[in-house]
Amino acid sequence: MTALSTIPEHVPLPAGFRATGLHCGLKSQGRPDLALILADEPVTAAAIYTQNRLVGAHVHVCRDHLLRSGGLVRAVLVNARNANCATGEKGIADARHCCDELAKRIGCPVEQVLMLSTGPIGAPLPTEKITSHLDALLGRVDDDGGMDFARAIMTTDTYPKAVHHAEYGVQVTGFAKGSGMIHPDMATMLGFLLTDATVDGASSGGVLRAVADRSFHRVTVDGDTSPNDTLLLLASGRAQSDAPATVLTATARELARHIAADGEGATRLITVVVRGAPSEQEAAHVGRVIATSPLVKTAIAGRDPNWGRILSAAGRAGVPFPAQAARVWVGTAEVYTEGVPHPEREDVAHRHLLDERDIEIGVDLAAGNAEAEVWTCDLTKDYVQINADYRS
């Protein structure tokens, strides 16, 4: 388990990208709600989307535009506080209209413009508020606008999520938003990976899937998958060098962990470590079941090193393992070893839960050599409060 990174005050953008964000009237109190990424030239793009059968309008439009443009993108427009979802054909036309207005101003084909929406489901998109602010967006977009972008895409997030990696001569900057309705199979609501490296256009879908499988697909807040979840990779190729998947994955993992850390009502980032599994896939599956268990998550909220709930959640994941040979730890304290609980070690485990914000729970299944990490957060009364009152 590595420590969670600190969000920077400024985040550099890879060569070829500019960004910004502003308030167009969707959120209250003047908070920024409209964001833009602008590429100097068309860049190679790949996207993966929610697996939900209910799909936001922007997913239809993004799919269509990327197909028609051959995976080339000049601009990405993002609005918060309105998902433009369950809005029928009108919603799709609204999203296209916004793309069209932006494309005209940039002077590029409409299919090189993408639009992403996030927020509550079911209300019509107020396109006038958006299109009337496109000139202002284009007027202020610059290479120091990363954090403005990150702030404008927030919904119930309590802090903006931006991560920067510079390694092997390439830069990767990532953004994400999301703190509720978070679950694997497009875990983040919206994620963006920008790089100045080359990502082979034909294969970038595969690369992005592999990156997501070890990052966004390993985080869960509440087991709910949003209809708007989208992860976007944009590669300008300015660095004249390939982006190693490891750098993209490291960026994406860090963003995914920030999403869990900022889970609605959360007070703890929980890293669930599963070892001794027959395969990495099974380790990740067991980890997700533990990370989704309300009983495990409320125990952590109560600072209770409740190994019984951890072992019980592992037990219902469907992966066979010998419970009498398994081990469970909380922080550095192994509280259950091969059939034997160690109540005398629970004080150390309790201190770990009490003193750290970034905590680890783990289980060794004694059923193989594979391992995986999954990230989640504790389930607190504030989660219930936030989601009982969301629309009121």
**Residues 291/174/244/199 CA torsion (nearest 10 deg):** 120
The minimum distance between CB 295 and its own copies, in angstroms, equals 5
The minimum distance between CB 352 and its own copies, in angstroms, equals 16
Residue 319 touches its own copies, criterion: CB under 8 A: yes
Residue 70 touches its own copies, criterion: CB under 8 A: no
Rank residues 139 and 339 by Cβ distance to its own copies and give the closer one: 339
Residue 293 touches its own copies, criterion: CB under 8 A: yes
What stretch of H or E contains 106?
Answer: helix 88-106
Strands 327-330, 333-337: pairing kind = antiparallel
Rank residues 62 and 172 by Cβ distance to its own copies and give the closer one: 62
Which of 101-109, 141-149, 197-205, 291-299 is the region at the interface with its own copies (rule: CB under 8 A)?
A: 291-299
**Crossing angle of helices 294-301 and 307-315, rounded to 10°:** 160
Which of 85, 89, 78 is CA-nearest to residue 32? 78
Among 86, 136, 138, 348, binds its own copies (CB under 8 A): 86
Strands 190-195, 340-341: pairing kind = unpaired
Among 301, 330, 333, 349, binds its own copies (CB under 8 A): 301
Number of residues located near its own copies, criterion CB under 8 A: 64
Which of 222, 170, 202 is CA-nearest to residue 384? 222
Residue 368 touches its own copies, criterion: CB under 8 A: no
Among 295, 347, 357, 369, binds its own copies (CB under 8 A): 295
Residue 208 touches its own copies, criterion: CB under 8 A: no
Site for its own copies in 370-389 (CB under 8 A): 379-381, 383-385, 387-389
Residue 339 touches its own copies, criterion: CB under 8 A: yes
Q: Which residues are catalytic?
A: 188
Report how far residue 356's alpha carbon sits from residue 211's, in angstroms, rounded to the nearest whole number.
28
Residue 366 touches its own copies, criterion: CB under 8 A: no
Beta strands in 50-187 (DSSP E): 72-79, 113-117, 161-167, 170-177
Among 12, 25, 315, 368, binds its own copies (CB under 8 A): 315
Rank residues 204 and 376 by Cβ distance to its own copies and give the closer one: 376
Measuring CA to CA, how many Å separate 22 from each of 36, 80, 149, 163, 361? Answer: 9, 11, 8, 20, 40
The minimum distance between CB 52 and its own copies, in angstroms, equals 4
Report how far residue 136's alpha carbon sits from residue 335's, in angstroms, rounded to the nearest whole number.
57
Residue 357 touches its own copies, criterion: CB under 8 A: no
Report how far residue 175's alpha carbon sits from residue 163's, in angstroms, rounded to the nearest whole number.
7
The minimum distance between CB 214 and its own copies, in angstroms, equals 21
Residue 254 touches its own copies, criterion: CB under 8 A: no
Residues 6+ apart with CB under 8 A from 328: 307, 310, 311, 334, 335, 336, 361, 362, 363, 364
Residue 121 touches its own copies, criterion: CB under 8 A: yes
Residue 337 touches its own copies, criterion: CB under 8 A: no
Can you name the residues that pair with 372 across neighbouring β-strands? Answer: 274
Report how far residue 50's alpha carbon sits from residue 53's, in angstroms, rounded to the nearest whole number.
8
309 within 8 A of 353, measured Cβ to Cβ: no
* Residues that bind its own copies in the complex, under the rule CB under 8 A: 51-55, 83, 85-86, 88, 120-122, 180-181, 183, 185, 222-227, 292-295, 298-299, 301-302, 304, 306-309, 311-321, 323-324, 336, 339-341, 379-381, 383-385, 387-392
